[in-house]
Amino acid sequence: MTLRFFNPSHEAEIRAFARAPRPASLVGATVGFISNGKEGTKSFFAHLEALLREHLDVAEVCWRTKGNYSAPAEAEILDEAAHWDFAITGLGD
């Protein structure tokens, strides 16, 4: 299967990237949620956290919210995310 990614930003510089390997399991994993800060993400992430804990035995869920919903996540969030096993981002419109 071929996946195509489109960059909707105004960035002129295009950087190559490789997808992270898919984890075999989330049992005991740390999962991070990065919200854009809009109201709709809160209930969605809460439900998703319950599912991850109940069905996939996730050990820890970290919730972080960007300071500006239309900008990339701050460096501090990205630095922390580097230590998570899995990250989920979302917007709540």
- Other beta carbons less than 10 A from residue 73's beta carbon: 20
By residue range, what is the domain housing residue 59? 33-90
- The answer to whether position 60 is within a domain reads yes
Percent of residues in the chain assigned helix, strand, coil, to nearest 5: 25, 20, 55
- Does the pLDDT of residue 85 top 80, yes or no? yes
pLDDT of residue 21: 85
Residue 19, pLDDT score: 83
Task: Establish if 10 belongs to a structural domain.
Answer: no
Is there a contact between 35 and 65 (Cβ–Cβ < 8 Å)?
yes
3-class DSSP assignment, residue 2: coil
What mean pLDDT is predicted for residues 67-85?
Answer: 93
- Read off the pLDDT of residues 57-69 as tens digits, 9 standing for 90 and up: 999 999 999 999 8
Report the pLDDT averaged over residues 21-44.
Answer: 91
pLDDT at residue 80, rounded to an integer: 97
Instruction: Measure the CA–CA gap between 35 and 89, rounded to whole angstroms.
Output: 6
Q: Is residue 9 part of a domain?
A: no
Q: Which strands form 86-90's sheet, in the order they lie side by side?
A: 60-65, 30-35, 86-90
**Total tally of structural domains belonging to the chain:** 1
| 5 inside domain | no
Residue 6: inside a domain, yes or no?
no
**pLDDT recorded at residue 11:** 67
* Residue 62 maps to a domain: yes
Question: Does residue 26 sit within a domain?
Answer: no
- Percent of the chain exceeding pLDDT 70 equals 95
